[in-house]
Amino acid sequence: MSEHSKACCSIPPVVANGYEAKGSYSQVAGLKTYITGPSDSKKAILYVYDIFGFCDQCLQGADILAKTHMVIMPDFFDGAPAHLSWFAPGSDDGQTKLGEFIKTKASPPLHLERIAKVVEEITASKGVTEWGAVGMCWGGKVVTLCSGAGTKWKAGAQCHPAMLDPKEAEDISIPYATLASKDEDKDTVVAFGKASKAETIVEIFEDQIHGWMAARANLEDERVKSEYARGYKILNDFFANYL
């Protein structure tokens, strides 16, 4: 059985609390970057986290994907991510802060050049020859914008994507997976999958909230934990097949 085949068969047990990350941090293109997985792998996945930065759920997800690939997670928010408290019901101040954060820090086009520099530096320093990418929430938009003609990726994926636009799917030139929650518009998710001319996987997790694969995942809830694990297994199998 090949290493990729083994990766498809199972993922490590998901840890609900107190997850201890398996990778380490380095400076890459001026960004603090979490790097996990085999250091000699020639295949790497760029992981673009959600707006809450280096949360345990994202670090654990990166480690799950790192069984046979190197996984690279840069800190695009430079140590100052969004706060879950901004989402408290009735918090007008939180909504104002969130709007400003998205405008100044999480606008996807702001990060395309930084991604190019990260990929260039890792390619040169680690000898990576093949790249994939996955994005959570706003990160899904970022990965989509990088997946058209001339993309560095052999395969791409997005989970509970924000700002989903089926027109952008028309430019995707690589195998692409979309894992959506109940909170994204179902018609838009389906239309996105149909608009892509490349091979696509689309799955809607009908009872999961936006963010269940990242910072908003309550892994103490057994159903959320199970669907989090299933989502990462789909990603694991997808990248094993296409990268």
Question: What is the domain partition of the chain in residue ranges?
Answer: 3-9+21-84+92-242
Burial environment of residue 167 by CB neighbours within 10 A (0 to 12, 13 to 18, 19 or more)? exposed
Output the pLDDT for position 5: 42
| Mean pLDDT to the nearest integer, 37-41 | 95
**pLDDT for residue 154 is more than 60:** yes
Task: For residues 12 and 14, give the distance between their C-alpha atoms in angstroms, rounded to a whole number.
Answer: 6
Q: What is the dihedral of CA 97, 102, 104, 110, to 10 degrees?
A: 170
State the pairing for strand pair 176-181/153-159.
parallel
DSSP state of 17: S
**Under a CB-based contact definition with an 8 Å cutoff, are residues 196 and 169 in contact?**
yes
Residues 76-120 have pLDDT tens digits of: 999 999 998 888 777 788 889 999 999 999 998 999 999 999 999
Residue 189 tokens read as 């998710």
Tally of CA atoms within 13 A in the half-sphere of 164 that contains its CB: 28
**pLDDT for residue 176 is more than 60:** yes
Type of residue found at 196: S
**pLDDT for residue 7 is more than 50:** no
Whether CATH 3.40.50.150 fits 3-9+21-84+92-242: no
Output the pLDDT for position 9: 53
Output the pLDDT for position 222: 97
Residue 73 tokens read as 């997670």
SS3 assignment, position 179: strand
Output the pLDDT for position 41: 95
CA-CA-CA-CA torsion sign (50, 109, 157, 153): negative
Task: For residues 179 and 201, give the distance between their C-alpha atoms in angstroms, rounded to a whole number.
Answer: 8
Q: What whole-number percentage of the chain has pLDDT above 90? A: 84
Instruction: Spell out the residues 6+ positions from residue 59 whose beta carbon is closer than 8 angstroms to its own.
Output: 19, 21, 23, 34, 36, 73
DSSP state of 107: -
- Kindly report the pTM of this predicted structure: 0.94
| Mean pLDDT to the nearest integer, 59-66 | 98
Of residues 143, 144, 131, 151, the one with CA closest to residue 243? 131
**pLDDT for residue 133 is more than 80:** yes
Tally of CA atoms within 13 A in the half-sphere of 210 that contains its CB: 15
Residues 203-224 have pLDDT tens digits of: 999 999 999 999 999 999 999 9
